[in-house]
């Protein structure tokens, strides 16, 4: 609905008198049914006046005569501007086109987003401003929700341009990503450069870094709750997007007008195929093959005034294949992976105000790693099947008090590692590890109490029961959040949460790849556990135009899981036996300031953080900095609406380099058995004691929008890494031969992957504007 | 076929233009590397080396002996200073490494002394070097005796129908549950070790351990439920149960005496019980040597485990069973 625009019409102005102070009134109504629209923000920045429309869609200001520049602000929509030369009492009626009639959810969001950081006891939570983010420069023309959240304080990115992220010193596997309530185990296409989330489908997203509501569980560092849009119940629309990397087509419209709607979007990666196509025949044979596609769909049925049913569907697949002909026994690799998700939800409103949501969720995630050469064929498979039923309830007891409770049951089947080693033997001689099936039952309850104007408390308890064939774990997870509001614009908040995690991602690689294995807790692998406390200062100022927050946190992690050093899943297929367990802790402070409205808007965030781990079997038992320990992390994002057609944006990010381990010395390693087995060893000092160079870059973007009667289009020019900083992607000690002495040498090489990258993209929306 | 290789390969193929060489700015400080493994069967010997900077060059690695340290071994009641001495040994470096310039490849330097060690007791190593004190300690494992060693001959038929004899050696022992066991069995014939395997059963964690056969570098086992029969040269898959163990393996290929069936000889068998620290040291140093972590950016490097405070290397211990000598008399 990005293309929807506002038709602004001043119906009439009424002259009443010639006084110096005049009354300026607005009324905003739906163009079609003339019903008032609530919650539209109208303001003049320079005059410092502004407010939301009331239940009648009206708002009035008493202001001196003069010239005013008003803007209307709708969450997620292009800001509209108009000039008024105010000489008398004036009533302006604004007709909104049918297409932009904001539904109740959006209106509610508008109100809550502006005051939420002050009014709510919730801390550690950010409602992702998707439309604000969409104005910022994007990489290769691809707006990506996961890359957007990396810009927020307390969230660190993984490797360059990847969708992986780390929250408050936690691991990548400690982030729960929900798409319409379905758990996504691998949210990446293209080895993490692009996420599986098609922005045409996303309505909103909320990230919890701490202060987790009891509704959420199963991960210990963050929850990202992404919800998809509903289709248009009135008329059909289509949206086409062409970028350098992907192209997509989205269609939305009524199957049964005002009753059943459909929204579907198909996206495909094609540019690399084109690149291969333009390559010469010989070069083409040596290049890797790659493609991906994904499809999202959603059907929504307004069954009655009290009932709504929807079915949401996602299917996506990637495939990488390439040959390594550098050795005599040339090898062929084939690596496909896929996600499939289907969700059915029934929302029902009981007569006494009790709201319920019943969900049936099915998810599968599969990947294969195939390798073969003339001697052997290896297949490593990993997969998860996830079926769950949720039943959530919410009831407002009285003003300021709300009760939320619910339960869910899930049945998960993990096939974490099936290795087939087929050394010139028939395939049936290979061995398969049996899959593991686990069941979970979770119960939760949350009670929010507004004690008075100053104090608010939210208490919750979650009880997960995890049933593995060999072991059952029962947890109790208290959640407590408290707010003290100093005045109308300032609040202090604190929180304590305890979380358990029953699935674990094993990664022998520092890069996020589909080869990472998900395994469930077992009698050997205990659930990960995290306790987190936070304290924050929140302030709005400039008539809610600006938002400021400072939040400190401390997080203690138990039962962390890693591979033992040197473990190899091909050599040691019994995964339980090659794991090691330890603990970790992280602490930090997050600073955030945001200007939401006005022609000139944006935000800046800074995080100061430390993250450490300690494993008895790693680093000789000494504590060490986590791989993504990042001392400083900063983002400055600015958007400027030049006029109704043009907008300019810029983004600057800075981060301390990732931790790495380098050999400092060499020494003689004595076998104790005469000469045989003696060798030299490397002294690495402390694990992760070195840092890559700092990461920083500046992106800029220019956007031109054009609106026509039956279509609207957007042309974007984005430049990633304007000053072409060669940021380190990784470093490696590469063995080389000195041509003069013919001796072997090591060189420390730094690899960067993205210098300046300009991109152009074009989106067009077809539908009545 | 490591996965990190293929990731590396893909990235390198796609990003050839964004590579630059860096100068290494490493925080090198020389460290003392220790090697000493004590047992009730002998007197202590401590090797001391100094680490050298990582100079981006792997050939002609120089072994730098430390000759000026003060080395003490002690227990609760007495302390003995070990004396440093240079001596000749056979093929210690075997041309793989260069000792310092005034050594040759048949010379080493170590610290020796006299000390009576007992199973179950803890001993302390203290080294004074360059104004610093380097410390470690080890507890000698309990002695685990062999119950019996049996030689067994079986007549078999070869593929061509010809009969042949298969000679097996069977070692039997009881595994005490109260201690960590990192076993190795040693079989020697005419004072030459013919089998030198390391095995272990961790009776605390309940997990069996097979320590790498130093004569067979291609195998590396960490924790496995069983040892495949081919690794023990036996006929059956061996399942550990933490109780009684009987290791059975062929010695025909080790002592080829079929052409002289009247030959009578003795086989000496010993079960060696190691402290875990030496297992960790050997395992991680072998793993580091096997892995390609230096050139692979996506894999975490393997750090060699050490129990030396303020230094590198190992101070560990073992305890041998009483030997059993069996006579082979066909």
Residue A679 contacts residue A671 (beta carbons within 8 Å) = yes
- Based on the domain organization, do A272 and A301 belong to the same domain? yes
User: Each residue of A109-136: pLDDT tens digit?
Assistant: 445 566 777 888 888 888 887 777 888 8
Residue A374 forms contact with B (CB below 8 Å): no
Nearest by Cα to A420 from A369, A365, A366, A364? A369
Residue A733 forms contact with B (CB below 8 Å): yes
* Residue B178 banded pLDDT, cuts 50, 70, 90: low
pLDDT tops 50 at residue B241: no
DSSP code for B300: P
Residue A689 forms contact with B (CB below 8 Å): yes
The first and second tokens of residue A578, run together, are 């090659």
**A70: domain range?**
21-102
pLDDT tops 60 at residue A106: no
The helix/strand/coil state of B324 is: strand
Residue B195 contacts residue B255 (beta carbons within 8 Å) = no
Mean pLDDT, chain B, whole residue set: 71
Contact A578 B10 (CB under 8 A): no
Contact B312 A571 (CB under 8 A): no
Contact B49 A667 (CB under 8 A): yes
Query: Rounded distance, CA B220 to CA B200, Å?
Result: 14
Residue A530 lies in a domain: yes
Tell me which residue in A288, A668, A676 faces B10 most closely, judged by beta carbons. A288
Residue for token pair 């439920």: B225
Secondary structure element (H or E) that encloses residue A243, with its range: none
CATH code (residue A76): 2.60.40.1120
C-alpha atoms less than 13 angstroms from C-alpha of A447 in its C-beta half-sphere: 7
- Based on the domain organization, do A548 and A664 belong to the same domain? no
* Residue A654 banded pLDDT, cuts 50, 70, 90: very high
Which residues of chain B are within 8 Å of residue A664 when distances are taken between CB atoms? 26-29, 53-54
Choose, out of A681, A684, A720, the residue to mutate when testing the contact with B (most B CBs < 10 Å).
A681
Tell me which residue in B20, B214, B284 faces A673 most closely, judged by beta carbons. B214
Which is more confidently placed, A35 or A668? A668
Choose, out of A566, A575, A579, the residue to mutate when testing the contact with B (most B CBs < 10 Å).
A566
- Based on the domain organization, do A368 and A443 belong to the same domain? yes
Query: Rounded distance, CA B125 to CA B149, Å?
Result: 36
Nearest by Cα to A25 from A13, A7, A37? A13
Using alpha carbons, list the distances in angstroms from residue A411 to A87, A219, A437.
69, 17, 7
- Based on the domain organization, do A680 and A762 belong to the same domain? no
Looking at CA atoms only, how far is residue A535 from chain B in angstroms? 35
Residue A341 contacts residue A363 (beta carbons within 8 Å) = yes
Predicted local distance difference test score (pLDDT) of residue B327: 75
Residue A113 contacts residue A125 (beta carbons within 8 Å) = no
Residue B58 forms contact with A (CB below 8 Å): yes
Contact A510 B300 (CB under 8 A): yes
* Residue A744 banded pLDDT, cuts 50, 70, 90: low
- Based on the domain organization, do A608 and A574 belong to the same domain? yes
Residue A740 forms contact with B (CB below 8 Å): no
Residue A495 lies in a domain: yes
The helix/strand/coil state of A277 is: helix
Tell me which residue in B58, B97, B301 faces A661 most closely, judged by beta carbons. B301
Cα B229 from chain centroid (whole Å): 21
Domain count for chain A, please give it: 3
Residue A198 lies in a domain: no
- Based on the domain organization, do A572 and A669 belong to the same domain? no
Looking at CA atoms only, how far is residue A510 from chain B in angstroms? 5
Quick one: A600 exposed, middle or buried, by C-beta within 10 A (0-12, 13-18, 19+)?
A: exposed
Which residues of chain B are within 8 Å of residue A565 when distances are taken between CB atoms? 284, 287, 300-303
Q: Which residue of A has its CA nearest to B30?
A: A665
Residues 6+ apart with CB under 8 A from A755: A721, A724, A726, B17, B18
Given A102, A132, A163, which residue is the final one in a domain?
A102
Residue A152 lies in a domain: no
Residue A187 lies in a domain: no
Q: Tell me the range of A34-38, A93-97, A335-339 where mean pLDDT is highest.
A: A335-339
Mean pLDDT, chain A, whole residue set: 80
Contact A324 B90 (CB under 8 A): no
Residue A674 lies in a domain: yes
Contact B51 A667 (CB under 8 A): yes
Q: How do strand B226-227 and strand B238-239 relate by DSSP bridges?
A: antiparallel
Interface of B with A in 180-239 (CB under 8 A): 196, 207, 214-215, 220-225
* Residue A372 banded pLDDT, cuts 50, 70, 90: confident
Residue B31 forms contact with A (CB below 8 Å): yes
Q: Which of A578-582, A627-631, B185-189, B226-230 has the lowest mean pLDDT?
A: B226-230
Given A78, A102, A126, which residue is the final one in a domain?
A102
Q: Is the ipTM of this complex over 0.95?
A: no
Query: Rounded distance, CA B138 to CA B75, Å?
Result: 10
Q: Which of A192-196, A319-323, A637-641, B177-181 has the lowest mean pLDDT?
A: B177-181
Residue A169 contacts residue A584 (beta carbons within 8 Å) = yes
Secondary structure element (H or E) that encloses residue A146, with its range: helix A145-149
- Based on the domain organization, do A703 and A665 belong to the same domain? no
Query: Rounded distance, CA A360 to CA B52, Å?
Result: 62
Q: Which residue of A has its CA nearest to B45?
A: A672
User: Each residue of B183-192: pLDDT tens digit?
Assistant: 776 666 655 5
Choose, out of B3, B25, B32, B108, the residue to mutate when testing the contact with A (most A CBs < 10 Å).
B3
Query: Rounded distance, CA A180 to CA A188, Å?
Result: 17
Predicted local distance difference test score (pLDDT) of residue B206: 39
Residue A371 contacts residue A332 (beta carbons within 8 Å) = yes
The helix/strand/coil state of A283 is: helix
- Based on the domain organization, do A583 and A676 belong to the same domain? no
Region A570-589: mean pLDDT is 78
pLDDT tops 90 at residue A474: yes
Residue A334 forms contact with B (CB below 8 Å): no
Tell me which residue in A331, A568, A675 faces B92 most closely, judged by beta carbons. A675
Phi/psi region, residue A576 (left: phi>0; alpha: psi -120 to 50; beta: rest), is alpha
Phi/psi region, residue A314 (left: phi>0; alpha: psi -120 to 50; beta: rest), is beta
Q: Which of A27-41, A138-152, A351-365, B121-135 has the lowest mean pLDDT?
A: A27-41
Contact B50 A667 (CB under 8 A): yes
Which residues of chain A are within 8 Å of residue B285 when distances are taken between CB atoms? 669, 679, 681
Query: Rounded distance, CA A753 to CA A511, Å?
Result: 14
pLDDT tops 70 at residue A754: yes
- Based on the domain organization, do A673 and A762 belong to the same domain? no
- Based on the domain organization, do A562 and A674 belong to the same domain? no
Contact B51 A669 (CB under 8 A): no
Given A61, A85, A102, which residue is the final one in a domain?
A102
Predicted local distance difference test score (pLDDT) of residue B221: 29
Question: How many interchain CB pairs under 8 A, A with B?
Answer: 244
Contact A322 B9 (CB under 8 A): yes
Cα A759 from chain centroid (whole Å): 23
Which residues of chain A are within 8 Å of residue B56 when distances are taken between CB atoms? 733, 745-748
Residue A88 lies in a domain: yes
pLDDT tops 70 at residue B264: no
DSSP assignment string, A572-628 = ---GGGGEEEEEEEEEEEEEEEEE-SSSEEEEEEEEEEEEEEE-TTSGGG--EE-TT
Looking at CA atoms only, how far is residue A53 from chain B in angstroms? 54
Q: Tell me the range of A73-77, A445-449, B252-256 where mean pLDDT is highest.
A: A445-449
Q: How do strand B244-250 and strand A711-720 relate by DSSP bridges?
A: unpaired
Q: Which residue of B has its CA nearest to A680?
A: B61
Secondary structure element (H or E) that encloses residue B12, with its range: helix B3-14
- Based on the domain organization, do A557 and A682 belong to the same domain? no
Q: What is the CA radius of gyration of chain A?
A: 28
Which is more confidently placed, A477 or B27? A477
User: Each residue of B276-315: pLDDT tens digit?
Assistant: 888 788 878 877 877 654 545 556 778 888 999 999 999 9
Which residues of chain B are within 8 Å of residue A732 when distances are taken between CB atoms? 8, 295-297
Which residues of chain B are within 8 Å of residue A322 when distances are taken between CB atoms? 6, 9-10, 13
Residue A212 lies in a domain: no
- Based on the domain organization, do A653 and A668 belong to the same domain? no
Q: Which residue of B has its CA nearest to A681?
A: B285
Residue B106 contacts residue B280 (beta carbons within 8 Å) = no
DSSP assignment string, A702-753 = EEEEEE-SSEEEEEEEEEESTT-----SEEEEEEEE-TTT--EEEEEEEE--
Using alpha carbons, list the distances in angstroms from residue B273 to B119, B224, B281, B319.
10, 19, 15, 5
């Amino acid at each position: 609905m990005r293309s929807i625009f506002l038709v602004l019409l001043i119906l009439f102005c009424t002259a009443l008198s010639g006084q110096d102070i005049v009354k300026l009134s607005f009324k905003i109504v739906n163009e079609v049914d003339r019903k008032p629209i609530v919650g539209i923000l109208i303001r003049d920045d320079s005059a410092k006046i502004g407010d939301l429309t009331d239940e009648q869609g009206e708002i009035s200001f008493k202001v001196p005569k003069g010239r005013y520049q008003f803007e209307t602000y709708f969450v997620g929509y292009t800001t509209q501007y108009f000039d008024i030369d105010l000489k008398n009492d004036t009533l302006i009626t604004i007709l909104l086109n049918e297409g932009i009639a904001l539904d109740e959810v959006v209106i509610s969001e508008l109100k809550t987003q502006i005051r939420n950081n002050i009014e709510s006891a919730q801390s550690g939570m950010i409602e992702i401003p998707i439309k604000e983010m969409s104005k910022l420069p994007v990489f290769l023309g691809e707006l990506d929700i996961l890359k957007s959240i990396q810009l927020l304080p307390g969230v660190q990115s993984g490797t360059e341009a990847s969708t992986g992220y780390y929250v408050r010193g936690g691991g990548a596997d400690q982030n729960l990503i929900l798409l319409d309530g379905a758990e996504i185990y691998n949210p990446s296409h293209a080895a993490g450069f692009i996420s599986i989330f098609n922005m045409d489908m996303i309505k909103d997203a909320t990230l919890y870094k701490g202060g987790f509501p009891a509704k959420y569980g199963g991960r210990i560092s963050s929850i990202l709750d992404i919800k998809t849009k509903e289709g248009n119940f009135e008329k059909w629309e289509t949206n086409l997007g062409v970028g350098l990397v992907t192209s997509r087509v989205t269609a939305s419209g009524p199957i049964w007008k005002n009753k059943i709607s459909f929204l579907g979007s198909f996206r495909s990666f094609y540019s690399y195929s084109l690149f291969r196509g333009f390559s010469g025949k010989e070069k083409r044979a040596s290049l890797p093959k790659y493609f991906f596609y994904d499809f999202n769909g959603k059907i929504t049925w307004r069954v009655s005034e009290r009932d709504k049913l929807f079915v949401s569907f996602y299917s996506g697949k990637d495939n990488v294949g390439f040959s390594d002909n550098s050795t005599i026994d040339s090898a062929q690799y084939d690596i496909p992976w896929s996600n499939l998700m289907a969700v059915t939800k029934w929302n029902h409103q009981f007569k006494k105000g009790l709201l319920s949501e019943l969900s049936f969720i099915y998810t599968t995630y599969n990947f294969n790693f195939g390798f073969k050469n003339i001697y052997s064929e290896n297949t490593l498979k990993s997969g998860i099947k996830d079926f769950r039923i949720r039943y959530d309830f919410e009831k407002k007891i009285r003003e300021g008090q709300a009760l939320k409770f619910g339960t869910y049951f899930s049945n998960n089947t993990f096939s974490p590692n099936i290795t087939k080693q087929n050394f010139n033997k028939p395939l049936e001689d290979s061995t398969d590890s049996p899959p593991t099936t686990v069941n979970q039952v979770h119960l939760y309850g949350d009670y929010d109490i507004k004690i008075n104007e100053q104090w608010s408390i939210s208490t919750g308890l979650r009880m997960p029961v995890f049933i593995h064939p060999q072991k059952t774990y029962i947890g109790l997870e208290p959640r407590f959040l408290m707010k003290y509001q100093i005045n109308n614009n300032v609040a202090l908040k604190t929180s304590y949460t305890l979380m358990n995690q029953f699935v674990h991602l094993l990664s022998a690689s520092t890069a996020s790849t589909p080869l990472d294995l998900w395994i469930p807790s077992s009698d050997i692998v205990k659930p990960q556990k995290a306790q987190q406390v936070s304290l924050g200062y929140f302030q709005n100022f400039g008539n809610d135009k600006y938002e400021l927050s400072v939040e400190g946190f401390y997080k203690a992690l138990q039962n962390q899981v890693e591979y033992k050093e040197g473990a190899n899943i091909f050599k040691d297929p019994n995964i339980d036996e090659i794991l090691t367990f330890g603990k970790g802790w992280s602490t930090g402070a997050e600073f955030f300031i945001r200007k939401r409205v006005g022609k000139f808007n944006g935000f800046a965030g800074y995080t100061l953080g430390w993250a450490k781990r300690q494993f008895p079997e790693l680093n000789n038992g000494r504590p060490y900095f986590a791989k993504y320990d990042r001392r400083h992390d900063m983002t400055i994002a600015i958007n400027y609406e030049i006029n109704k057609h043009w907008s300019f944006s810029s983004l600057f990010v800075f981060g301390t380099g990732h931790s790495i381990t380098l050999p400092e010395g060499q020494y003689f390693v004595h076998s104790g058995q005469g000469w045989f087995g003696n060798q030299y060893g490397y002294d690495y000092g402390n694990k992760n004691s070195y840092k890559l160079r700092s990461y920083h870059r500046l992106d800029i973007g220019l956007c031109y929008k054009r609106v026509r009667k039956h279509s609207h289009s957007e042309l974007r020019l984005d430049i990633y890494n304007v000053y072409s900083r060669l940021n380190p992607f990784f470093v490696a000690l590469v063995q080389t031969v000195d041509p003069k002495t013919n001796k072997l040498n090591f060189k420390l090489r730094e690899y960067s992957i993205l210098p300046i990258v300009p991109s152009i993209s074009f989106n067009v929306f077809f539908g009545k504007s | 076929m490591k996965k990190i290789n293929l990731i590396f390969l893909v990235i390198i193929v796609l990003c050839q233009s964004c590579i630059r060489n860096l100068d290494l700015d490493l925080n090198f400080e020389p460290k003392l590397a220790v090697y000493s493994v004590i047992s009730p069967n002998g007197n202590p010997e401590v090797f001391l080396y100094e680490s050298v900077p990582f100079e981006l060059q792997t050939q002609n690695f120089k072994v730098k002996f430390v000759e000026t340290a003060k080395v003490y071994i002690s227990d609760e009641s007495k302390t003995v200073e070990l004396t440093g001495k240079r001596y000749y040994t056979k093929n210690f470096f075997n041309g793989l490494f260069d000792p310092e310039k005034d050594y040759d490849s048949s010379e080493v330097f170590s610290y020796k002394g006299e000390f009576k060690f007992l199973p179950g007791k803890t001993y302390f190593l203290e080294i004074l070097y360059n104004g610093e004190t380097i410390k470690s300690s080890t507890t000698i494992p309990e002695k685990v005796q062999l119950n019996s060693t049996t030689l067994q001959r079986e007549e078999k038929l070869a593929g061509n129908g010809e009969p042949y004899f298969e000679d097996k050696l069977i070692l039997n022992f009881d595994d005490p549950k109260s201690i960590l066991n990192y076993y190795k069995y040693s079989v020697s014939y005419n004072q030459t070790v013919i089998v030198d395997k390391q095995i272990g059963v961790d009776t605390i964690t309940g997990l069996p351990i097979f320590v790498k056969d130093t004569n067979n570098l291609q195998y590396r086992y960490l924790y496995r439920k069983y040892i495949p029969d081919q690794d023990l040269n036996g006929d059956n898959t061996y399942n550990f149960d933490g109780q009684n163990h009987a290791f059975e393996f062929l010695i025909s290929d080790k002592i080829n005496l079929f052409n002289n069936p009247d030959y009578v000889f003795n086989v000496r068998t010993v079960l060696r019980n190691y402290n875990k620290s030496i297992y960790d040291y050997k395992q991680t140093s072998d793993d580091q040597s096997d892995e390609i972590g230096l050139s692979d950016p996506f894999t975490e490097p393997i750090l060699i485990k050490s129990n030396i405070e303020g230094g590198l290397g190992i101070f560990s211990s073992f305890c041998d069973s009483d030997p059993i000598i069996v006579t082979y008399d066909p």
